[in-house]
Amino acid sequence: MNSKKLAQSIAKIADDKKAKDIVVLDLKNLSAFTDYFVICSGSSDRQVKTIAGAIEGELKKKDVRPLGMEGYATGHWVLVDYGDVVAHVFYDDERHYYQLEKLWADAPQIKIA
C-alpha cells in the first residue's frame, strides 16, 4: 500500500470511529522522517483509545503493522507510527495545546478519499 493510500485509509478508519476534525497533511517536501500526518481528535480518552486501536486493528487485518505506538495508556495523544505515515489521535484539549496544524502550516492538505 503506498503512503498516500495508507494515509487515506487511516483517515477513513478514524472517521468510522467518529473522530473529529480529520486532517491529512502532505509532508513529502517538508520532512525527511515521514510523508504524511493524519491528525484527528476524540472527545474523551476512551474515544481516543478506540480510534487508535481501530487504526491499528483494521490495518493489521491487511498485514500492515505500525513501527510503534505511543501514548495509548493515557489516551490524551496517541501516536501510531507507520513510517511513511504517522497518525496523531488527540484528546481535544491536547490538540488545541500542541497545534500541529499550525506547526506544519506550509504542508498541503490532501483530500480524504
Q: Which amino acid appears at position 24 of this protein?
A: V
- Average pLDDT of 81-89? 98
Model pLDDT, residue 42 = 97
Average pLDDT, the chain: 95
How is the chain split into domains, by residue range? 3-103
Model pLDDT, residue 111 = 81
CATH classification of 3-103, choosing from 3.40.50.2300, 3.30.460.10, 3.40.50.720, 3.20.170.30? 3.30.460.10
Q: Are strands 85-91 and 36-42 parallel, antiparallel or unpaired?
A: parallel
The CA-based angle 33-34-36, given to 5 degrees, is 155
**pTM to 2 decimal places:** 0.94
